[in-house]
């Protein structure tokens, strides 16, 4: 089970990532937003696999009507992923948000 503290630690370990508030929640930015706490226990990340993730595991991955216009954003229930999976999600989101190597 991943936690907000795991998210913070992993995000801030990536080159150039900063933390600041977005919509009143902790958020992490490369060149653009890469991750944000949506609500307690739920993280927003960028991915090119939103449909596939939600299609195979809708209890873990989902989105709200607010996210419809942003097809690369997916919500993740942190209690349902381990830190290895979280790291993979954050690495992809980092690259999509303009982190080095993109």
Where do we find the tokens 């991943």?
Answer: 2
pLDDT, one tens digit per residue, over 23-78 is: 999 999 999 999 999 999 999 999 999 999 999 999 999 999 999 999 999 999 99
CB 5 within 8 A of CB 27: no
> pLDDT at residue 102 above 60?
no
**Using one digit for the tens of pLDDT, what is the confidence trace for 82-101?**
999 999 999 999 999 998 76
Nearest-10 Cα torsion for 62, 67, 73, 79: -40
pTM: predicted TM-score of the whole model, two decimal places: 0.94
Q: In the prediction, which pLDDT does 100 show?
A: 78
């Amino acid at each position: 089970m991943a936690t907000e503290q795991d998210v913070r630690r992993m995000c801030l370990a990536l080159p150039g990532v900063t933390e600041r508030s977005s919509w009143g929640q902790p958020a992490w930015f490369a060149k653009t937003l890469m991750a944000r706490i949506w609500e307690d226990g739920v993280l927003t990340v960028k991915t090119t696999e939103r449909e596939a993730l939600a299609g195979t595991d809708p209890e873990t991955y989902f989105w709200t009507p607010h996210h419809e216009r942003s097809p690369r954003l997916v919500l993740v229930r942190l209690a349902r992923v381990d830190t290895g999976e979280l790291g993979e999600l954050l690495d992809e989101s980092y690259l999509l948000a303009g982190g080095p190597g993109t």
